[in-house]
């Protein structure tokens, strides 16, 4: 059984001899709220986790825990990825034919979008080393370095989702290194998007916003043609800004980033959501980020209303990793407005379309824990999801 964030807060607090009242005061939340988080009748949201982690002087990863990282194939695969990332200039693989590498990159990108993280881990270390071997032998070929950068982008998704912040930061450093060899503003923006994500995971929202603003400024001033090549990364950076600003409780910055994102999304016309360098952008994804921002800014009623519409007809061109995240945010919103049956419905949808994400995502696990505690063992489907998420045995 893997403890959820609320349970870990209680354990860490008690191990330090800190009372609930003191921790609540230092984290800037009410005693009642902290008590409910610890017993599992309220979810530990990302801003609360960040505030509590700061008060307890631990990382947010320590509070979230690391689900499924026992002595297993998954742990072994993560170690293999760590070795490949560390040896970034010393690939142990020979350069494969370019068509073989291109096929491998397409497979990795698809597995990332489908949230099949363990399958991705099985091929990623070898692919990274093969791509690096090609790039090092390519006499500065920008396209070859672009492939390396994109694979590191896949590596970031795995490390982030599996609760490995140290590995995620190392991967982002390597992605930035590879992107610098491409002279491609898109690759730089994708690396900055992930770099800001490491600050987001750590709860350092203001620093993450600084990374985003710098990247936006660079991209806007870059000398290359417009169209999707510029709109997709620029819009994606604004969407990252939406998350960071809303968790930082900065309503105006959230509105500014969201307004600019919607303007860019509409400029794509009827193209729908597009994926470039592992970044997804368009009207559908922008709507998802707007919904999440309403939740973070304490407007769950607005988020729930948006969620009802989006649940009925999710954007058809979004990949499972994006739709799965939509369902998780809808579950959060519905729980906040005390629609527990609706929250359960949304979680079931998340487990259906992106099971690995639903099993590992901190907020999916927190919402599921609350529902499980409230209903105890009365609902078999809740019990099944809780077992899959490692919250019960």
pLDDT band per the 50, 70, 90 thresholds, residue 376: low
Query: 375 pLDDT exceeds 90?
Result: no
Position 287 scores a pLDDT of 96
Query: 246 pLDDT exceeds 90?
Result: yes
Position 67 scores a pLDDT of 55
User: pTM of the full predicted structure?
Assistant: 0.93
Average pLDDT, the chain: 92
Residue from 47, 155, 136, 41 nearest 94 by CA: 136
Query: 298 pLDDT exceeds 70?
Result: yes
Q: Name the least confident of 211-215, 223-227, 228-232, 282-286.
A: 223-227
Beta-carbon neighbour count of residue 137 at 10 Å? 12
Position 9 scores a pLDDT of 95
28-58 pLDDT per residue, tens:
999 999 999 999 999 999 999 999 999 999 9
What b/e string do you get for 93-109 counting C-beta neighbours within 10 Å, with b at 16 or more? bebbeeeebeebbeebb
Q: What angle do CA 80, 126, 196 make, to 5 degrees?
A: 70
% residues pLDDT > 70 (the chain): 96
pLDDT band per the 50, 70, 90 thresholds, residue 66: low
Coil, helix or strand for 317? coil
Give me the sign of the Cα torsion angle 160, 391, 108, 293.
negative
Position 185 scores a pLDDT of 94
| Residue where the block lists tokens 């091929």 | 123
* DSSP for 65-84, written as a single string: --TT-SSSHHHHHHHHHHHH
Residue from 281, 285, 305 nearest 295 by CA: 305
Tokens standing for residue 148: 């390396």
Query: 134 pLDDT exceeds 80?
Result: yes
Residues with Cβ within 8 Å of 99's Cβ and at least 6 positions away in sequence, in order, are: none
Beta-carbon neighbour count of residue 173 at 10 Å? 15
Query: 249 pLDDT exceeds 80?
Result: yes
Query: What residue ranges do the domains of the chain occupy?
Result: 5-63, 70-183, 299-393
pLDDT band per the 50, 70, 90 thresholds, residue 230: very high
Distances (CA, A) of 32 to 24, 25, 37: 9, 11, 9
170-200 pLDDT per residue, tens:
999 999 999 999 989 999 999 999 999 999 9
In total, the chain counts a number of residues equal to: 393
Tokens standing for residue 57: 């002087």
% residues pLDDT > 90 (the chain): 81
Query: 70 pLDDT exceeds 90?
Result: no
Position 74 scores a pLDDT of 77
Assess contact for 151 and 124: CB atoms under 8 A.
yes
Residue from 378, 371, 114 nearest 391 by CA: 371
Tokens standing for residue 275: 């994926």
Query: 259 pLDDT exceeds 60?
Result: yes
Q: Name the least confident of 40-44, 132-136, 282-286, 313-317.
A: 313-317
Indicate the fold that domain 5-63 takes in CATH.
434 Repressor (Amino-terminal Domain) (1.10.260)
What is the Cα–Cα distance from 233 to 155, expressed in whole angstroms?
A: 18
* DSSP for 221-285, written as a single string: H--S--THHHHHHHHHHHHHHHHHHHHTT-HHHHHHHHHHHHHHHHHTGGG--EEETTEEESHHH
Taking residues 289-313, report their average pLDDT: 96
Query: 158 pLDDT exceeds 80?
Result: yes
Residue from 39, 36, 49, 23 nearest 296 by CA: 49
Classify domain 299-393 by CATH number. Answer: 1.25.40
């Amino acid at each position: 059984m893997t403890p959820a964030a609320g349970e870990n807060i209680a354990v860490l607090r008690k191990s330090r001899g800190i009372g609930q009242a003191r921790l609540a005061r230092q984290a800037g939340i009410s005693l009642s709220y902290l008590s409910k988080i610890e017993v599992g009748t309220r979810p530990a949201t990302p801003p609360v986790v960040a505030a509590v982690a700061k008060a307890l002087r631990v990382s947010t990863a320590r509070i979230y825990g690391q689900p499924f990282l026992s002595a297993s194939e998954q742990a072994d695969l993560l170690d293999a990825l760590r070795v490949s990332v560390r040896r970034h200039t010393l690939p142990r693989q020979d350069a494969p034919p370019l068509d073989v590498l291109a096929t491998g990159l397409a497979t990795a990108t698809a597995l990332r979008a489908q949230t099949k993280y363990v399958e991705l881990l099985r091929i990623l270390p070898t692919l990274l080393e093969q791509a690096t071997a090609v790039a090092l032998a390519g006499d500065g070929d920008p396209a070859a370095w672009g492939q390396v950068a994109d694979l590191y982008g896949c590596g970031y998704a795995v490390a982030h989702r599996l609760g490995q912040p140290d590995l995620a930061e190392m991967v982002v450093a390597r992605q930035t290194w590879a992107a610098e060899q491409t002279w491609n503003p898109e690759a730089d923006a994708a690396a900055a998007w992930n770099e800001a994500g490491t600050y987001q995971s750590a709860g350092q929202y203001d620093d993450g916003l600084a990374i985003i603003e710098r990247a936006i400024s660079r991209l806007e001033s870059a000398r290359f043609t417009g169209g999707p090549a510029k709109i997709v990364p620029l819009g994606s950076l604004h969407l990252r800004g939406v998350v960071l600003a809303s968790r930082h409780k900065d309503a105006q910055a959230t509105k500014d980033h969201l307004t600019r994102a919607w303007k860019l999304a509409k400029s794509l016309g009827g193209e729908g959501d597009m994926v470039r360098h592992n970044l997804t952008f368009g009207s559908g994804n922008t709507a998802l980020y707007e919904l999440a921002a309403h939740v973070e800014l304490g407007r769950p009623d607005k988020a729930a209303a948006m969620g009802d519409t989006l649940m009925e007809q999710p954007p058809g061109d979004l990949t499972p990793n994006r739709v799965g995240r939509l369902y998780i945010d809808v579950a959060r919103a519905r729980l906040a407005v005390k629609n527990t049956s609706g929250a359960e419905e949304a979680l079931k949808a998340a487990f259906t379309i992106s099971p690995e994400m639903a099993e590992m995502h901190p907020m999916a696990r927190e919402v599921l824990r609350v529902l499980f505690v409230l209903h105890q063992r009365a609902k078999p489907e809740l019990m099944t999801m809780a077992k899959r998420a490692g919250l019960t045995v």
